[in-house]
């Protein structure tokens, strides 16, 4: 069983006070963290979606689409029995 969750990675705060938004994928005792391509400050993130940002609608649409595509790919890999044998590096190359 696998799971995907969006989060603000505050472990790596940049000089401007912003942190990258990432998608955490957990599967078969492995974890993979995919950057979503933009950074936010903590007051622009509510734990699930972008808030208090001028482009929040567009950014939330991008996150929803990327998460849905990733979840679909993972379900397909699970159905074929391939996911459990993949390293995080291999999975990242497929996604």
pLDDT at 1: 76
Please provide residue 62's backbone torsions phi and psi, each rounded to the nearest 5 degrees: -60, -45
- Which tens digits make up the pLDDT trace of 3-56? 999 999 999 999 999 999 999 999 989 999 999 999 999 999 999 999 999 999
Tokens at 58, concatenated:
């567009």
Work out the average pLDDT over 55-79.
96
Question: What's the pTM value of the predicted model, to 2 decimals?
Answer: 0.90
pLDDT at 43: 96
pLDDT at 27: 93
Please provide residue 9's backbone torsions phi and psi, each rounded to the nearest 5 degrees: -85, 85
């Amino acid at each position: 069983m696998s799971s995907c969750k969006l989060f603000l990675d505050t472990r790596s705060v940049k000089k401007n006070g912003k942190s990258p938004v990432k998608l955490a994928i957990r599967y078969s005792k492995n974890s993979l963290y995919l950057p979503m391509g933009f950074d936010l400050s903590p007051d622009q993130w509510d734990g699930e979606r972008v808030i208090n940002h001028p482009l929040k609608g567009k950014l939330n649409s991008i996150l929803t689409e990327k998460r849905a595509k990733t979840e679909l790919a993972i379900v397909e890999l699970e159905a074929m029995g391939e996911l459990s044998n993949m390293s995080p590096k291999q999975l990242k190359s497929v996604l």
